[in-house]
């Protein structure tokens, strides 16, 4: 009887200990106050994030960064992010085989023969 009770109690004790809830929460979760616009000033770095919508309706976050006078753009969609520094032409960013042109409320991504047009999402 002792041979059965001791292993069963051990399993129950380990199960209860492993299911203990943590009051600290998940440290990997990031809560965004505003998905449409976010401005961050930190030293000589300036970031501005806006939500853009592609022609097919998919949503994309576009971040414009100005760090120490060097401008860059970051476009995040579907767990993928592309980043590009600004070229000698204003509001034109390029890296590898793609070019990104930002004009007013639109962003155009060109990669070879593929062209993706994004428009700034309306804020309700």
pTM: 0.60
HEC profile for 36-84?
CEEEEEECCEEEEEEEEEECCCCEEEEEEEEECCEEEEEEEECCEEEEE
Give 83-109 as a 3 state SS string. Answer: EEEECCCCCEEEECCEEEEEECCEEEE
H or E segment to which residue 110 belongs: strand 106-111
pLDDT tens digit at each of 124 positions of the chain: 667 787 777 776 666 666 655 555 544 444 443 343 444 444 557 898 999 999 888 999 999 999 888 999 999 988 889 999 999 988 899 988 889 999 989 999 999 899 999 999 887 6
Domain ranges of the chain: 37-120
pLDDT for the residue numbered 85: 93
Instruction: Please check whether the domain covering 37-120 is classified as CATH 3.30.450.40.
Output: no
Q: Which residues does 85 contact at the CB level (< 8 Å), separation at least 6?
A: 70, 71, 72, 93, 94, 95
């Amino acid at each position: 009887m002792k041979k059965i009770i001791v292993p069963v109690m051990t399993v129950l004790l380990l199960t209860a200990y492993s299911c203990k809830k943590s009051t600290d929460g998940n440290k990997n979760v990031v809560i965004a106050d505003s998905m449409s616009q976010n401005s961050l000033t930190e030293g000589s770095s300036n970031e501005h994030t806006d939500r853009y919508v592609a022609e097919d309706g998919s949503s994309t976050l576009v971040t414009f960064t100005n760090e120490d006078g060097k401008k860059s753009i970051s476009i995040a969609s579907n767990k993928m992010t592309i980043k590009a520094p600004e070229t000698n032409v204003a509001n034109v960013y390029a890296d590898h085989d793609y070019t990104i042109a930002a004009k007013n409320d639109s962003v155009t991504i060109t990669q070879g023969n593929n062209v993706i047009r994004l428009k700034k999402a309306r804020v309700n």
